[in-house]
Amino acid sequence: MAWISAQWPAVVAAAQHAHEAANAKTPPAFETLTPEQARQVEAITSRIIPTDDLPGAREAGVVYFIDRALKTFAKDSLVTYEKGLAGLNQATSSAYPGVKSFADAAAEQQEKLLTELNEAQKTEAGPSPGLTQLVSPDFFPTIWQHTVFGFLADPEAGGNRDYAGWKAIGRDPAHSFSPPFGFYDKDYPGWQASSPETEKK
Amino acid sequence: MTQGKVTYKPSDEVDFVIVGSGAAGGVLAKELSTNGFRVVVLEQGPYLREADFSHNEIDVFLRHQLTNDPKLQPITFRRTPQDKARQQYSVLYGRCVGGSSVHFTANFWRFHEIDFIERSKVGEIPGAELADWPITYSDLEPYYTKVEWEVGVSGLAGASPFDPPRSKPYPMPPLPVKGSGVIFERAAKKLGYHPFPSPMAILSQPRAGRSACVHCGFCLGFGCEVGAKSTSLSTMIPLAEATGRCEIRPNCYVHQIATDKSGRATGVLYFDAKKNTHLQKAKAVVVCANGAETPRLLLLSASSQFPNGLANSSGIVGKHLMPNSGLVAYGVFDEPLNDYKGFADSRIFHDFYEMDYKKVGFYGGGGLDARFDFTPATFAFRGLPPGTPMWGKEFKKALSHNFTRTMEIFCHGTSLAVESNSFSLDPDVKDAWGLPALRMTFRDHPNDLKMMEWMKDRAMEILDAAGARTKWHNPVQEAQFAVHLLGTCRMGNDPKTSVINPDHRTHDVPNLFLCDGSSLVTSGRGQPTMTIQALAFRAADRITALAKRGELHS
């Protein structure tokens, strides 16, 4: 009972804090990206963390997180995004004539383009130097980092809507836990000293 | 506790001005104000409270809410003094009231006897300036005990056969075991080692109006929202303020120690939040700015009277940087550990604390702990096995499977003191206040890399014995990033080879004291904060005695 009386206020305060943050929903309208840019960003982030039987970047509202990021902590990256999105669309059209933009490409085409973009940026020249010229070299690492944060950071940071990202990785959204935490500490008998014959000192 | 809070004017000559409010500064503020002195603590960062802390990784990792911001305070790095330093984010320290104790992991090991007398025991080591401390473990033991009881440390006395003698048990039992701890303990015992509950500066039970750990899982890097982490902010600072004699003044960036013609310190010059300069007058100055900023401040305080920087007649201010060597091995297990719950580590062993050079071919030693110190996002950045696709279906699958099933074994170890490893002022790069940037020069002593190579093999054996499904380790390589900022104004009896004496008084300036990681003569085996706080409690006693004898007045 001592635990309850000591912890309860803190736990309630922490839970309330999380609740308020979760309710401070990301705005329905985009603040930085144009609707078309947002559609492209969502297409890319959904390739980075796709939706399967578990939520992906789309369900976590990563595009809203990025939209907000580009007017706050990542405002310096806006140019990278603008150039990167335009360049990727151009690369899409030249690789797949008739396809207007990355978001309009088929899943396999999108995967191929991102694979190529990744490879191109790993090596200085790359198999397709044209792509790195169209898309600045920091575009993929930047959108990748933002996607990961937007998917997995605590919702207090503005992403991970309804804890979608944490559902996908098996992270319980609770704000406090008590042991046992998992499988291996379930039946732990308590700490005991190593047997005397192995004592070295 | 607003009542009784005191404020001083910069023109008030207080008894002590303390630069920095971290692990050491917090203790000195509390002790000196409790002993009746008037104290001003100048902290360059903001005064955040528990209510300001959150699990917001953007604020913590990208906005540097609690730590130094390399955009405002650029740092340069080079391997050797012959190289030209390049701008690189190479030093991390706490920049808020409470300093690095706010965001640290809270491992609280004592140093052992050997750490104080290693030079006598092993002799000279080529390429290193290994030295004995002017004090021994037994001088510091009462203060280690004091730290445990005053700040609140969880642990089990006598659990490690390698522990040094202690005068009192821990004030509270260890934190609960985690899955990583159980796996590690079983495997380590199988291999004949002696694992024990990690001593942590985190409350396992409520204490002094503070909550016990609620195992939220956002520990390393974050401020504790419930005050369970025994930081200077949650323990010492409130007691200092409650004396009614200590003012904590945040957002004050000290850039010079002022001296008079006789060479005594008269106070410190600082920029306030609006970049206006003030002189806080004081009878004595205590610098606890950390192992990077303390030597930098002495070097910034150069004058015609002290052309090489203040308190630097030895020429070794900033030298002998020892960041502690470290390496991580990873294991993935079949069942969920859910090690994201709770604090970082629950089991550790010290069987390798004192190694036999003839057997292993390296000096020093270390400790291994079992931990998980990732957040969900940082796990995606660097928690997956090498070669895992980093986007797409396979990336997501790896995240989904591994996040709950991964643990780390962290190998901590000695850094030998090497003279050229140092902090100095960069001749070209300036910070946002126009002051010369911090320049780090560092290359690991080959001994330390050899030791890590050996420790890494032991960690991999443990993961093997534990039945890890997948295991890997980070490469053993030269460090380019320092978090433990140790040894840069070392303590000693000889003014030619040390900066401070055993009272933490600089050899050159009688009313200038330094106490923080810079005071350390050796690096221990990986966890310095406990020793920094023990030194601070001891320094407070010594400084109080000197002040009461009238030695600090001109």
List the domain boundaries for chain A.
41-169
- The answer as to whether B43 is a domain residue is yes
The reply to whether A116 touches chain B by the CB within 8 Å rule is no
Surface of A (135-174) touching B: CB under 8 A: 144-145, 148-149, 151-154, 156-158, 165-166, 168-172
Nearest residue, CB atoms, A181 vs list B178, B183, B333: B178
**B255, B433 in Cβ contact below 8 A?**
yes
Distance CA B222, CA B218 (A): 6
Q: Is B273 exposed, middle or buried (0-12, 13-18, 19+ CB in 10 A)?
A: exposed
The reply to whether A191 touches chain B by the CB within 8 Å rule is yes
Contacts of A199 in chain B (CB under 8 A): 161, 194
Q: To the nearest whole angstrom, how far is the Cα of A60 from the nearest Cα of chain B?
A: 13
As a whole number of Å, the end-to-end CA separation of chain B is: 35
Cβ–Cβ of B211/A7 closer than 8 Å?
yes
Q: Sign (positive/negative) of CA torsion B220, A144, A70, A66?
A: negative
**B67, B117 in Cβ contact below 8 A?**
no
Coil vs helix vs strand at B412: strand
Cβ–Cβ of A185/B351 closer than 8 Å?
no
Determine which helix (DSSP H) or strand (DSSP E) holds A80, and give its type and residue range.
helix A78-95
- The answer as to whether B129 is a domain residue is no
Q: To the nearest whole angstrom, how far is the Cα of B264 from the nearest Cα of chain A?
A: 45
The angle formed by the CA atoms of residues A12, A13 and A16, to the nearest 5 degrees, is: 85
Note whether B386 and B529 are same-domain residues: no
Note whether B345 and B205 are same-domain residues: yes
Helix and strand numbers, DSSP H then E, in chain A? 8, 0
- The answer as to whether B125 is a domain residue is no
Contacts of A148 in chain B (CB under 8 A): 377, 380-381
Coil vs helix vs strand at B241: helix
Selection from B375, B52, B100, B332 nearest residue B217 by Cα: B375
Pick the last residue of a domain from B433, B461, B481.
B481
Q: Which domain holds residue B236?
A: 1-102+135-152+231-313+488-547
pLDDT at A122: 63
- The answer as to whether B121 is a domain residue is no
- The answer as to whether B163 is a domain residue is yes
Contacts of B337 in chain A (CB under 8 A): 181-185
Selection from B491, B541, B543, B496 nearest residue B516 by Cα: B491
**B399, B428 in Cβ contact below 8 A?**
no
Distance CA A41, CA A65 (A): 11
* Pairing relationship of beta strands B366-371 and B422-430 according to DSSP bridges: unpaired
**B88, B480 in Cβ contact below 8 A?**
yes
CATH code (residue B368)? 3.30.410
Distance CA A107, CA A93 (A): 15
Note whether B50 and B140 are same-domain residues: yes
ipTM: 0.93
Note whether B173 and B69 are same-domain residues: no
Note whether B371 and B472 are same-domain residues: yes
Regions in chain A scoring below 70 on pLDDT: 1-28, 121-132, 195-201
Note whether B279 and B144 are same-domain residues: yes
Instruction: Work out how many domains chain B is built from and give that number.
Output: 2
pLDDT in tens, chain B (554 residues): 445 689 999 999 999 999 999 999 999 999 999 999 999 999 999 999 999 999 999 999 999 999 999 999 999 999 999 999 999 999 999 999 999 999 999 999 999 999 999 999 999 999 999 999 999 999 999 999 999 999 999 999 999 999 999 999 999 999 999 999 999 999 999 999 999 999 999 999 999 999 999 999 999 999 999 999 999 999 999 999 999 999 999 999 999 999 999 999 999 999 999 999 999 999 999 999 999 999 999 999 999 999 999 999 999 999 999 999 999 999 999 999 999 999 999 999 999 999 999 999 999 999 999 999 999 999 999 999 999 999 999 999 999 999 999 999 999 999 999 999 999 999 999 999 999 999 999 999 999 999 999 999 999 999 999 999 999 999 999 999 999 999 999 999 999 999 999 999 999 999 999 999 999 999 999 999 999 999 999 999 999 999 999 988 75
Note whether B339 and B267 are same-domain residues: no
Pick the last residue of a domain from B481, B506, B527.
B481
Contacts of A172 in chain B (CB under 8 A): 338, 341
Pick the last residue of a domain from B460, B481, B502.
B481
Distance CA B355, CA A60 (A): 51
Contacts of B398 in chain A (CB under 8 A): none
- The answer as to whether B126 is a domain residue is no
Contacts of B395 in chain A (CB under 8 A): 48-49
Please count the CA atoms within 13 angstroms of the CA of A62 that sit on its side-chain side: 31
Note whether B216 and B236 are same-domain residues: no
Cβ–Cβ of A152/B377 closer than 8 Å?
yes
Sequence-ordered alpha helix ranges (H) in B131-235: 137-147, 179-190
Note whether B285 and B216 are same-domain residues: no
Note whether B274 and B382 are same-domain residues: no
Cβ–Cβ of B400/A73 closer than 8 Å?
no
Q: To the nearest whole angstrom, how far is the Cα of B289 from the nearest Cα of chain A?
A: 28
Please count the CA atoms within 13 angstroms of the CA of A91 that sit on its side-chain side: 25
Surface of A (46-75) touching B: CB under 8 A: 47-50, 52, 54, 56, 69, 73-74
Distance CA B502, CA B490 (A): 10
Cα distances from B117 to residues A201, B9, B135, B507, in angstroms, run 19, 45, 9, 22
pLDDT at A127: 45
Sheet of B325-332: strand order equals B196-197, B345-349, B366-371, B406-413, B325-332, B470-473
Selection from B536, B113, B479 nearest residue B326 by Cα: B479
Nearest residue, CB atoms, A184 vs list B182, B193, B197: B182
Note whether B192 and B143 are same-domain residues: no
- The answer as to whether B308 is a domain residue is yes
Nearest residue in A to B65, CA atom: A73
**Among all chains, which residue has been given the structure tokens 């419930």?**
B226
